[in-house]
Chains A and B, each alone.
Chain A
């Protein structure tokens, strides 16, 4: 039995949840004195242990939605709840990995991961074990004492994933975590993430504008349309795991999604081509 799973059972015996309910969520920002509607009446459910991808062009509010779920934006209309409890601010039950690694430059990899545990109800020994187990989980053994500036972009993002998971959250939110990486590193980390998700059995919500990434990783792909951000279509992907990019089913769904996104453009509701910068 692996150390991480043991730790989880010890720290949160009643875990195994991670259900998410988003109900009629709307959010506006004020930009240059004028209100801009980022999200309008978005509702969605994520089952415990599910891998859901929020996909859409820039400006569709997908990152905003993820920040609302994380509890980083206190002002919005509607309700968001995790396992039946309305979210209020951030919580150690929800981990998040941002597009940039956001590692503290003055702390080593191991210290960065340990900082995530500062408010965890664990003994110092359990914390040390959890840090080591998660560094191993993302394949960074041997780099625990390295500073962020000594890591490559992919390694830094691995460290960020370890930090996002170290609290054993029931829900992990990923905001375009591979967006800034080169194609090869991105492909490798996508496979890694698939492995970690299968291993950890937690709910994951991933934001991306990369259709290939969405179909490779998601149980469901929720396509958002921009201005204002809203749910446009939902694709269920039942292909068996571990998946391969060249799987016929995946290629077919990928084409369906691209077509759906293209339709959105033709009827004028989406102006930005998919794959543009976030």
Chain B
């Protein structure tokens, strides 16, 4: 892509957000909507500056990201182990997979009461909930990736007398890698959504969710808006970062059509 084409596509990408911000600003200033419900941008900006200066915003963001990351690491780690077991063992697959497919139909938020009862109301329960959110897409995608491994490549492993561990390391995991990365990518997004959900629905504590709740309870819409903007920006950056990593981790992707 040439420089001007890149600029052009960036320009097109900016049309919608800039348009929305302008509409927001005009609506807020023209009195079309109540300023208490939709504060003008400069108020949100001032609040952002105030929160940044006091260190509260960064503190909340750090608390949320820490939770997000812990939940993601534990959840996706457990997801990889469970996915390997389900993907490689026909018995485990037959016994568990149908049940699991039913289980994943339960909306994630419906687990919150159960997890709260089992793990308490503090940090532990939140991380378990985020971990659950991260584990599910990892398990599903890894199992699918392992099942899609070419029989012909498995036979090559047979010819070289691969043992169980060698099959996993040299055949199944690399074959499932594109799928697994898709699963991890989704896990990053789900974990961030679950982080906000956990902060929102479980006992209040420091975090972006807590910031939004505080804004709602004190009827400071600029604080609520700020929280929402931060949540969206982090989600956007996480998604972009994951895509970027994914492309760099699979140099053989162009070969997917080949045996």
Contacts and interface: CB of A to CB of B under 8 A. Distances in A.
B153 A104 contact: yes
B166 A147 contact: no
Contacts of A147: 251-252, 255
Contacts of B159: 70, 72, 90, 95-96
Contacts of B118: none
B158 A90 contact: yes
B258 A105 contact: yes
Contacts of B152: 98, 100, 102
A136 B105 CA distance: 55
A72 B156 contact: no
Nearest to B158: A90
B162 interface: yes
Interface string B45-74: 000000000000000000000000000000
Highest count of chain A CB atoms <10 Å: which of B162, B163, B175, B259: B259
Nearest to A97: B159
A90 B177 contact: no
Given A72-B159, A91-B161, A102 B259 contact: yes
Interface in A100-131: 100-107, 115-116, 118-119
The A interface, classified by DSSP as helix, strand, loop or mixed, is: loop
A103 B252 CA distance: 12
Contacts of A72: 155, 158-159
Contacts of B252: 105-106, 147-149
Interface string B227-259: 000000000000000000000001110111011
Interface in A66-98: 70, 72, 89-92, 95-96, 98
Interface string A16-48: 000000000000000000000000000000000
Interface string B155-194: 1101111110010001100110100000000000000000
B156 A104 contact: yes
Given A100-B152, A118-B170, A90 B161 contact: yes
**Which bracket fits the contact residues of A?**
20 to 34
A149 B253 CA distance: 9
Nearest to B159: A90
A187 B155 CA distance: 28
Which residue of A91, A96, A149 has the most chain B CB atoms within 10 A of its CB atom? Answer: A149
Contact of A100 (B161, B170, B255, B259): B259
B156 A102 contact: yes
B: interface residue count bin: 20 to 34
Nearest to A70: B159
A101 B251 contact: no
A104 B152 CA distance: 10
Interface string B193-235: 0000000000000000000000000000000000000000000
Contact of A149 (B156, B160, B255): B255
Given A100-B152, A115-B170, A118-B166, A105 B256 contact: yes
A105 B170 CA distance: 11
Contacts of B155: 72, 98, 102
Contacts of A107: 174
B255 A105 contact: yes
A104 B153 CA distance: 7
Contacts of B256: 105
B191 to A, nearest CB: 27
B160 A104 contact: no
Contacts of A95: 159
A121 B16 CA distance: 63
A118 B167 CA distance: 11
16 contacts: A89-B158, A90-B160, A98-B155, A102-B156, A102-B259, A104-B153, A104-B170, A106-B175, A118-B162, A119-B161, A119-B163, A119-B166, A147-B255, A148-B252, A149-B252, A167-B160
Ordered nearest first, which 8 A-B pairs have the shortest CB separation?
A149-B255, A105-B255, A106-B174, A105-B252, A106-B252, A119-B161, A100-B259, A90-B159
Given A103-B259, A148-B252, 9 more contacts: A89-B158, A103-B258, A104-B156, A105-B255, A105-B259, A106-B175, A119-B163, A147-B252, A167-B160
